[in-house]
Structure 1
């Protein structure tokens, strides 16, 4: 059975087993994923996986229960129905149940990539080889992944949706220097189209960064003007999605976002754009639409599932996901709108921002980021994969990795965004289902570094 048939079958069995008084949602999800990993400049693993899941959510006698299964035969689906019926009787009442999504016209799905539908390990390996060759003898490691996903939703209110999407991603690191003082460079890209994954271009970018990072110097802690490259900006976007624009965090007064308030620099506009990929609807069957979160510095939106929307008197935005009762509805396609004019590639776009800096730092990537205080969104983390001192608008030399403690909204506040790159790059990101953040480079007036990465 395909996902549409699976969802319909699960709904029929649930209706029969639970009676006419139950409100029922059924979601079927099928994913075919391929992964090629490489290390020490050699492919060491191919992985192929096909995973199917059927999820039921029911509201019965004032109680709400959710259960899933990977068994798709009739007996497996019947066990799922029996299990959720038992759970619904045992769980506490749910007076805040928001009801089912009514029938609504679905958003347009992005076209599928035939190359991903027919992809082989050899196609991914060719991109890995191009990356490795472009590093010209440096040690290289990373992965190339491809995937196709089909999803179908149906509920007892007569609402049904089906869609599918394709995705590809590459994440590669090149290493120069010595074993005791390695110097790494990185290049990442995600796209719904396999042809966009240019292994040679990514390898050349990673190698250039690795060579430029050899023999870094020590830099004292302090506040520095920075140019954050797209890899680093993607991490900032992930934290904004999770903590700042999250409707559940807003309802609990734990979010920085205040709709209608000019909280960010006027140069900044942030959107959640489902056209970037993924299913065009969420797990509650709400179609996804383009959502402005920040427009010209003014906070204009939040991400909501049906429950958080009812709680704050808003409309659901299509961001319900597994686990959102705990974590809240999270944007998965965040993008900062790039500058409307300037170079049309990442290297030249970053160079144009660097040329405007009298003294500061160019930061390729940040990681190990953890929240210290969610409401002002104070984060701590480390730089990696290349940091350079900028003097007089030029790169003066590499510096050692640094630890930072920074309130992200403060770094993006009015007067703090001094420049936005003209070329945005889609970065693989962690999240529920498809997740990719599209980010340009940013020039920011101040970033607070607290010391070296060593301690």
Structure 2
């Protein structure tokens, strides 16, 4: 039995012990759910083209949510000995008795098997799912991460570089007083780096369930090519431009769609643009939340949420038609439906949102060209750029903020490379610009002129989400000012 398998059994035992302690302290009428997570993260950071920090952290957290006499309270601890668990239960029971009545309590997840997939193990009282789990990534050493940093720096050929390579391993278990019990584990590797040439930055990012998939040389060469091509930018007049967004920029669209648009609480409270069954996107657009990952990328999240609801693929948009939003048990009850497995520690407050969204790539059978390492245009975006008569190629978006949630109007800045494209060729670097754009309108009917042939898995962002994004060719993008003022 592997070390990771032993760890997972430890978490399940901890969860079951806390449920028993709740029964002893509060009686059989108390409803309790317990999520135990062991998170191990390791990060190798570099700046000025040298590694300056290697850190690792591992912590086991026990989270308890308790519903007692119509009142709800939550608590957590990282002290997992007998006294620590007993103290967690005592504090949470006391807090529940002092809390106001909770009329929105949705009840506990009933015993439910995890959704079967190629890595399913277990039956009976509890289930376990390890889909695409790579033990080599979970056990990755600082030297293995440093090798990729070295390759990135060398590939930049003298340009100043900075960024990180990280590995993450999570093992978790869930149990509740209704009899639901489950466990699972996940591992991920990611690299994000920039190269700088005369004040111009180029970026390359990639995530995978396997550290072996991260090629520091390829990423460093791409970042350097972008930096060199972004030197001496011109300043363009604000206005509406045809654009090709590379996967890094498309990830920001998916992030905001997920957190603010397909959020079950926002939908139930009519603060979302989503209208189920409506044609809200171009027919070429299909968005799917894939928490169990896919066979080609070997990257999966945990197979259950913080309420113990089994996760599975959820089609948010199919061929332009909005099909679903993400729900936990609370928002599902408010909307008159069922949970989609998107509960988190903050979902009752912030709302549940999809965390593994993929924009489906073009179904064109031809493979994307390998690309020239010195080309600032990503290989997956090159066919889209070739079709553009006049417009902009945008690598990245950042500092994006919601101006109007209902229509999802976002403002933000371009970053890490913008270029003017004329007659299918890059003709000039362009200075960064501010944009103000409704994301749903940008992907509306007739507005999507093309989608790349490959979805690229990108590292998680501030919301803890992870996206698979292709390049995207859009008819109009509203640039409202220059970053210089």
> 335-344 or 165-174, which moves further after superposition?
335-344
Aligned 8 A contact 1:187 1:206 in 2: yes
Question: Aligned residue for 1:447?
Answer: 477
Question: Aligned residue for 1:335?
Answer: 358
Choose which of 359, 381, 389 in structure 1 pairs with 2:390: 359
Q: With the length of structure 2 as denominator, give the TM-score of the two structures.
A: 0.91
Q: CA deviation at 1:164?
A: 0.5
Choose which of 347, 359, 369 in structure 1 pairs with 2:400: 369
Cα deviation 1:57-99 (Å, max 9, x = unaligned): 1110001111101110010111101110111011111112110
Q: Structure 1 residue 165 and structure 2 residue 186: aligned? A: yes
Structure-2 separation of matches of 1:314 and 1:420: 33
Question: Aligned residue for 1:49?
Answer: 57
Structure-1 separation of matches of 2:56 and 2:353: 28
Question: Aligned residue for 2:375?
Answer: none
Cα deviation 1:246-288 (Å, max 9, x = unaligned): 0000011100000100000000000000122110110000011
Partner SS for 1:258: coil
Q: CA deviation at 1:118?
A: 2.2
Question: Aligned residue for 1:420?
Answer: 451
Question: Aligned residue for 1:190?
Answer: 207
Partner SS for 2:85: helix
Cα deviation 1:222-244 (Å, max 9, x = unaligned): 00000000000001100000111
Structure-1 separation of matches of 2:291 and 2:238: 40
Structure-1 separation of matches of 2:153 and 2:385: 28
Q: Structure 1 residue 36 and structure 2 residue 44: aligned? A: yes
Aligned 8 A contact 1:338 1:421 in 2: yes
Cα deviation 1:96-121 (Å, max 9, x = unaligned): 21100011111343132122132110
Q: CA 1:275–1:388 in 2, change beyond 3 Å: closer, same or farther?
A: same
Aligned 8 A contact 2:264 2:325 in 1: yes
Q: CA deviation at 1:348?
A: 2.7
Structure-1 separation of matches of 2:53 and 2:333: 47
Question: Aligned residue for 1:205?
Answer: 222
Aligned 8 A contact 2:292 2:302 in 1: no
Cα deviation 1:207-229 (Å, max 9, x = unaligned): 11001001000101000000000
Q: 1:217-228, aligned counterparts within 5 Å? A: 217-228=234-245
Question: Aligned residue for 2:163?
Answer: 142
Q: CA deviation at 1:314?
A: 1.4
Q: Structure 1 residue 270 and structure 2 residue 263: aligned? A: no
Choose which of 317, 326, 332 in structure 2 pairs with 1:303: 326
Structure-2 separation of matches of 1:66 and 1:349: 46
Partner SS for 2:381: helix
Q: 1:382-397, aligned counterparts within 5 Å? A: 382-397=413-428
Cα deviation 1:171-203 (Å, max 9, x = unaligned): 0000011xxxx1100000111111111100100
Question: Aligned residue for 1:131?
Answer: 152
Structure-1 separation of matches of 2:59 and 2:483: 39
Aligned 8 A contact 2:72 2:102 in 1: yes
Q: CA deviation at 1:432?
A: 5.9
Q: Structure 1 residue 69 and structure 2 residue 74: aligned? A: no
Partner SS for 2:362: coil
> 13-22 or 293-302, which moves further after superposition?
13-22
Question: Aligned residue for 2:317?
Answer: 294
Structure-2 separation of matches of 1:287 and 1:317: 8
Structure-1 separation of matches of 2:433 and 2:286: 28
Aligned 8 A contact 2:33 2:176 in 1: yes
Q: 1:312-323, aligned counterparts within 5 Å? A: 312-323=335-346
Choose which of 7, 23, 43 in structure 2 pairs with 1:15: 23
Cα deviation 1:140-171 (Å, max 9, x = unaligned): 00000001100100000111000001100000
Question: Aligned residue for 1:261?
Answer: 278
Structure-2 separation of matches of 1:240 and 1:110: 26
Partner SS for 2:178: coil
Cα deviation 1:393-417 (Å, max 9, x = unaligned): 1111100000000000010000000
Cα RMSD of the aligned pairs, angstroms, is 1.1
Structure-2 separation of matches of 1:15 and 1:37: 46
Question: Aligned residue for 2:120?
Answer: none
Question: Aligned residue for 1:103?
Answer: 111
Structure 1 gap segments, 5+ residues each: none
Aligned 8 A contact 1:332 1:431 in 2: no
Partner SS for 2:380: helix
Structure 2 gap segments, 5+ residues each: 1-6, 118-129, 294-299, 372-377
Cα deviation 1:305-345 (Å, max 9, x = unaligned): 00111111111101001111221001110010000124435
Aligned 8 A contact 1:141 1:174 in 2: yes
Partner SS for 1:275: coil
Q: With the length of structure 1 as denominator, give the TM-score of the two structures.
A: 0.97
Structure-2 separation of matches of 1:117 and 1:298: 38
Structure-2 separation of matches of 1:66 and 1:114: 33
